[in-house]
Every structure is written in C-alpha cells, then in structure tokens.
Chain A
Amino acid sequence: MEIFLSAIFSGTSRGAIYALAALGLVLVWRGAGVVNFAQMGQAMFTTYIASTLIGHHYSYWLAFIVALISGGILGAFVDLSVMRPLSRKRSSNFLDSPAMRSTIPVIASLGILGILQSGAGIFWAAEERGFPTPVNSLGLVIGGKTMPFTAFDLFVIGTVFITLVITTYFFKGTGMGLAMRASALNPEVARLSGIKIGSMRTLSWTISGVASSLAGLLVTPSANLSPSTLDLILIIGFTAAVVGGLDSLLGSVIGGFALGLLISFVNVYDTPEDIFLAILVVLLAVLLIRPQGLLGSKEVRRV
C-alpha cells in the first residue's frame, strides 16, 4: 500500500512539472502555430540566470522575477529574430507547401536550442548545479508514512492551475486572447479583420517564454540544472501535450499528470529501463487511435 500510494504521489509531483512543460508548448502552438522544441532550452537558460543571481546572494524572489522577465524577452527575441522573418518568407518556393511550412519552424527551433545549450556551455561552463526551492521540501506524512510529496510539489501544482486559469481566461475571455487565437488559426481572415498578426504572435512567444521560464524555475529543484538535463522533460512534455490535445490548455495539464503517473508506475511496477519505450508507445497509441488527443479539437488539427 505504501508503495502504491507513493507511486501515486511521486507521479503527481512529477506530473505537475511535465504539465507545466506541456502548457508552455501548447501556448506557442495556439498563439503562433509552432511547436517550440527550444522551449526547455529557453527555460534552462533563464534558470541559469536565476541561479547565478542566487549564487551572488540575491534573494530567491528577485532571481525568480528576473528569470521570468528574461524568459519573456527571450521568447520575444526568438520570434522577432527568427520566427517572424520565417513566416514572412511564405512566398519562397521552399515554404510553399503546408508540409514544409510546418516543418521549417521545427528545424529553426532546434537551431535555437543548439545556440542556447552551447551558449550555456560558454557562459556557465556547463556546470551541473542544483536549484533551491522557495518553500520547505520535506515529504508529507500520511498515516505515519512519509510520501514523496512535499509542500513544494503543492506549490508547483498550485502554480500550474493558476497559469491554466489565467491563460484560459486570456484566450477565451479577452479580446487580445481571441485575436491571438485567430491569428494563429487563420492568419488571412485575422488580417482582414484588422488584427496585427505579427504583434499577436510576438505576444504569444513572450507569454510562452515567461511560462517556459517558470517551468525551468520549478523543474530544476528536482532535476539538476545543466545545459541538457531538461531535454527529456521537453520530450515528455511534448508527449503530454499530444496526449491532451496539442491545442488544449486543460488537455495538456491532464496529459502532464497522466504521463507523470504512467512513468511513476512503470518505474515502480515494471522497470525504469522501460520508461522511454512506454513514452513512445503512449505517443503512438494516442496519435493512431485518437490523433486529436483527449481534449483537442478535431478541426484545427492540421496534421
């Protein structure tokens, strides 16, 4: 029983982290129509900034805020320097087909990931670091047994839900959010209705940059910080987003927790060596059986 409970709790606390990564991916997908493979690279970079500040004895919360702001700036920069010029090149004969239009930004985001990782190597010597938590991280005691679930995990879950609520409201309830969705889903129509698509997209990249940075700050206390430790979280986050439906904010959060539990149960009841295979099987199963994911809308999935 203790093992079962602990598998649930461990899965939930990890799931919150995967959910956050998935949420960030969905934000850019909805806002700009790009799956950003550089996302956890951005998170890694801004967390190194925060870690450096903390190392110089600035307070955790100052470092936290600086990291979020630099995340936003980084997101906007990625869009303005790479993604916007790319989306303007639609006339190029290399981007004239839908297949290539969705492929090229993926390649570009991999290039950005490469730059961020090698940049972190140059600036921080790829030093492996831990990262502090803002709240106590001792396990909660249930029925006399300590579970792998801490106050910090609750903090992460709380943050995930607050982010979910705010972004859902933003997309559904505000004019700007609707404009962002419209420019991603149907740029031509959006342009005709007078929406400045370019600005809307930059805004999505900025928001997603902040969300990624937040993910980095909340992930690294449990996963040491190094230029590539977050790669696996990106892969799990992507799978979580697909499971939930790539365009559904709530879906991505559910997907994150589902993946967390799945990995935890494979870990406990099968063997850790099967985790990568399990992720692959889940991903393929969802894509082949229910390609729109749990909560994704069928019509917008331009697979």
Chain B
Amino acid sequence: MSRTRSYGRKNLIISILFAVLIFILSIKLDPYNLGQLAVALMLFIGVLSIVLLTGASGQISLGQGALMAVGGFAAALAILNLGLSIWVAIILAVIAALLAGLLLGIAAARLSGPYLAGTTLVIALAIPSLATRFESVFGGDVGLNINFGNPPAWLSSLMGSVGYEQWQLLATLPFAVLALLFTSNILNSRTGRSWRALRDNEIASSLNGIDISQTKIFVFVISSGFAGLAGVLYGLRGIVGPSVYPISLSLMLLTGAVLGGIRSILGALIGSILVVFLPDVIDSIMKHFSPSEQVANYLPAMISSLLLILTVVLNPGGIAHGLHRTRRHL
C-alpha cells in the first residue's frame, strides 16, 4: 500500500516536471518546431495506447489509427452538428473511442499474435472507409474541418501574444500530462501487474484468478480511449478525414512505440519525438549531399524502417531499455 502511494507521488512529480519542461519549450521554440512538438505530444498519447496494449498486456494492434479516426470523427460531428465546444467534444470523442474499443476488445480478446495483427490491420483499412461510405454524415474524402480555434483571451493576456502553433502545443499539453499520469499510475498498480502477468503467462495468471478475456477487453478499452484522445487532438490541427488517419499512421505509432521502448513510458515519449523529428533531421543532413529527388523523398521512410528492424533484432527493449541498462552499469 505504502509502496503504491510512493509511486503515486513519484509519478505526480514526474508529470509536473514534464509539464514544466514542455511549457518552457513552448516559449523557447520557433513556430515550426512548436507545431512539430505538438504533433509529437499527440502521438505520444497514441504511442502510450500501444505501450498499454502491446507493452503491458502483450496484445498487438496495427489499427490504432482507426480508433484515432473514431475519436476525430466523433469530435468533429459534436462540434459541427451540435455546436459543442472543442473541450466537450474531446470528452465525447474519448467516450466514443472507449465504446469502439469495447466492441473491438470483445472480438480481439479471443485473438492473439498474427491473428490480432491482421484483424486490426483490416480494421485500420475498413473504419476510415466508412467516411466515404456515409458521405453525407462524415464528409466523404474531403472530410470535416475542425481546429483548435484562437487561444482564449486570458491566455493571451497572460503570455503576451500566443501563436497558432504555440496554442496547439499548449492545448495539447494538459491532455498529454493527464495521459502520462494515468499511464504511470495504472502500470504501477495491481491492475497493471495483472496485465503483465497475463502477457507473461496466460495459464498461470488464470490459475491466479485473473479473468483473462475480461482483462484483455479492459486493456483494449483503456488503450482505445488513449487512441481516441490522440485522434481528436490530431484532427484539431485542421481536418478530420480518411486521409488524416491512413494505415501508415497506425504503423507510425507502432514504430514510435518500438523504437522508444514498447514497455516504457519514457520510451513512448522518446519514440514519438523520434518519429516526428527524425525526417526533419534526415532532411537537414541530406541537404549537404544534394541527393536525387527520389532518395530525398524515400530515404526517411527507409531509415525509420531500418531502425525498426534493428531495434527489434538487436535491442527489443528500445532506446528506453538501453538507457536503463546504461544507468545500471554506471
């Protein structure tokens, strides 16, 4: 009991430090990198959904992008049709994603490994296609426009002028902090331990009285809520539509999770920063070599795929695991 409480305090402190750090960055960075950092935080929430699902409970999903789409569309419909504020819409989006996660989880709880991977891949393809199927509701290929709007007056008066990208980052920050706090607490709780027990040995954990399929569904639901939250924030950058949530978005989340460390919250942060900023870094390095157009266009994708394979083969724990190990050696 006291151990859990001390964890809780530690998690709270880390979350506050995280918030302060991002806030300082939000004043220091240039607008482009502010926007990129905002995307990284949105994806961080999405990657956390994979840390919970795959890292903690051992279920894989290649369809988190579809759940992001559920969140995005739910929010867009709430904003455009019901005239709700984006904050209420975000809450509704999370609820919609939780419900979608429940449906998916009921099916997914019976699957694992490649079956689950393939099924979620089909989901990633099928769900966004609903937008064109029911065009009058979801806006078809063109999608639905939503955005963060203008920063509230009190914020502008507090901080001087708040730029568009800066506002995206500041509006995303509280949700990222909440996601961080929630994830670190649940992973250190009894619940989190039961998930890991399930991942490591289904039979043993069922003998210990853990209801396997209920637990799996529960993880799926929580993870979907995270994905939905990430999805609505991602959509609030300007648009919700099928081309915003392609299969490649799901694979990008997975890549971020694996590169950073699929079992680590720190890893999720590192991974999301990596997938967002790596193409920029590669671009700025490549500029010195004036590569052909094809190389310039496809090299970032090739390098991130290569890193994914190298991580899986050489260091499956990802960068975070490497850091832990280094620290232990010191």
Q: How far is the CB of A86 from chain B (nearest CB, A)?
A: 6
Binary B-proximity of A89-132 (CB < 8 A = 1, otherwise 0) = 10010111111101110111011111101110110011000000
Bound complex: CA of A37 vs CA of B113, how far in Å? 13
The stretch that binds A, out of B25-33, B74-82, B221-229, B304-312, is B304-312
Bound Cα distance A119, B305 (Å): 11
Chain B residues with CB below 8 A from A231, complex form: 247
Chain B CB within 8 A of A142 CB: no
A107 and B123 within 8 A (CB): no
Do residues A106 and B114 form an inter-chain contact, with CB atoms below 8 A? Answer: yes
B99 within 8 A of A: no
Q: Does B294 contact A (CB under 8 A)?
A: yes
The answer to whether the Cβ of A195 comes within 8 Å of any Cβ in the partner chain is: no
Contact of B126 among A107, A117, A126, A276 (CB under 8 A): A276
Q: Which of B200, B202, B295 contacts A122 (CB 8 A)?
A: B295
Contacting residues of chain B (95-152) with chain A, CB-CB under 8 angstroms: 107, 110-115, 117-119, 121-123, 125-126, 129-130, 132-133
Query: How far is B113's CA from A106's CA once the two chains are assembled, in angstroms?
Result: 8
Q: Which of the 9-residue segments A2-10, A201-209, A284-292 touches chain B?
A: A284-292
* Interface residues of B, count at CB 8 A: 52
- B323 in the interface (beta carbon within 8 A): no
CB pair B111 A112 closer than 8 Å: no
User: Which stretch from A167-175, A177-185, A234-242 is at the chain B interface?
Assistant: A234-242
Q: B118 to A86, Cβ gap below 8 A?
A: no
Docked-complex contact A115 and B302, CB < 8 angstroms: yes
Chain A 221-237 near chain B by CB (<8 Å), digits 1 or 0: 00000000001100100
- Once the chains bind, are A37 and B117 in contact (CB under 8 Å)? yes
A194 within 8 A of B: no
A114–B122 contact, CB under 8 A? no
Chain A interface residue count, CB cutoff 8 Å, equals 55
Residues of B within 8 A of A92 (CB): 316
* Cβ contact within 8 Å between B118 and A35: yes
Taking a contact as CB atoms under 8 Å apart, the answer to whether A106 and B60 are in contact is yes
A190 within 8 A of B: no
Residues in B whose Cβ lies below 8 Å from that of A65: none
A121/B298 contact (C-beta < 8 A), A114-B308, A303-B110 known: yes
Report B-chain residues with C-beta under 8 Å of the C-beta of A188. Answer: none
Residues 52-71 (chain B) with a chain A CB within 8 angstroms = 54, 57-60, 62
Name the residue of chain B whose CB is nearest to the CB of A78: B309
Residues of A within 8 A of B266 (CB): none
Q: Is A85 an interface residue (CB 8 A)?
A: yes
Instruction: Tell me, in angstroms, the Cα distance from A273 to B141 when the chains sit together.
Output: 12
Contact B126 A280 (CB under 8 A): yes
Are the CB atoms of B302 and A122 closer together than 8 Å? yes
Given contacts A114-B305, A283-B119, A287-B107, contact A103 B54 (CB under 8 A): yes
Q: How far is the CB of A91 from chain B (nearest CB, A)?
A: 11
Query: A99-B113, A242-B118, A287-B110 are contacts. A122–B299 as well, Cβ < 8 Å?
Result: yes
CB distance from B299 to the nearest CB of A (A): 7
| Contact indicator A119/B302 (Cβ below 8 Å) | yes
Considering the chains assembled together, what is the distance between the CA atoms of A114 and B299 in angstroms? 11
Q: Are A277 and B115 in contact (CB under 8 A)?
A: no
Chain A residue at minimal CB-CB distance from B57: A99
> CB within 8 A of A99: which of B58, B247, B313?
B58
The secondary structure that dominates the A interface is helix
Instruction: Tell whether B88 is near chain A: CB-to-CB under 8 Å.
Output: no
* B214 within 8 A of partner (CB): no
A30 vs chain B, min Cβ distance (A):
13
Other-chain residue from B58, B110, B321 in contact with A103 (beta carbon distance below 8 A): B58
Nearest opposing residue in chain B for A121, CB measure: B298
Could you tell me if B298 and A122 are in contact, using CB atoms closer than 8 angstroms? yes
CA distance in complex: A113, B107 (Å): 27
Q: Is the CB of A279 within 8 A of B302?
A: no
Evaluate contact between A118 and B299: CB separation under 8 angstroms. Answer: yes
- Contact indicator B302/A95 (Cβ below 8 Å): no
The answer to whether A280 and B313 touch (CB under 8 A), given A107-B254, A287-B111, A303-B112, is no
Cα distance A129–B36 in the bound complex, in angstroms: 36
Task: State which of B118, B302, B309 has its C-beta within 8 Å of the C-beta of A108.
Answer: B309
Q: Which of B121, B247, B294, B316 contacts A104 (CB 8 A)?
A: B316
- Distance in angstroms between the alpha carbons of A97 and B161 in the assembled complex: 52
* Residues of B269-317 whose CB lies within 8 A of A: 294-295, 297-299, 301-302, 304-306, 308-309, 312-313, 316-317
- Determine if B312 and A107 form an interchain contact, defined as CB atoms under 8 angstroms apart: yes
Closest to B309 in A: A111
Given contact pairs A99-B199, A277-B126, A104 touches B312 in the complex (Cβ within 8 A): yes
Cross-chain contact B114 with A108 (CB below 8 angstroms):
no
Most buried by A among B115, B201, B301: B115
Minimum CB–CB distance from A82 to chain B (whole Å) comes to 6
A118 touching B114 by the CB < 8 A rule? no
User: Does any Cβ of B come within 8 Å of A302's Cβ?
Assistant: yes
* B60 contact set on A, CB distance < 8 A: 103, 106-107
- Pairwise interchain contact A111-B312, C-beta atoms closer than 8 A: yes
Would you call B199 and A97 a contact (CB within 8 A)? yes
Q: Type the 1/0 row for A65-92, where 1 means its CB is closer than 8 Å to any CB of B.
A: 0000000000000000010011001001
Nearest neighbor of B54 in chain A, beta-carbon distance: A103
5 more CB-based (< 8 A) A-B contacts, given A94-B321, A97-B201: A82-B309, A85-B313, A86-B312, A283-B119, A291-B111
Residues in chain A within 8 A of chain B (CB atoms): 29, 34-35, 37, 82, 85-86, 89, 92, 94-100, 102-104, 106-108, 110-115, 117-119, 121-122, 125-126, 231-232, 235, 238-239, 242, 246, 273-274, 276-277, 279-280, 283-284, 287-288, 291, 302-303
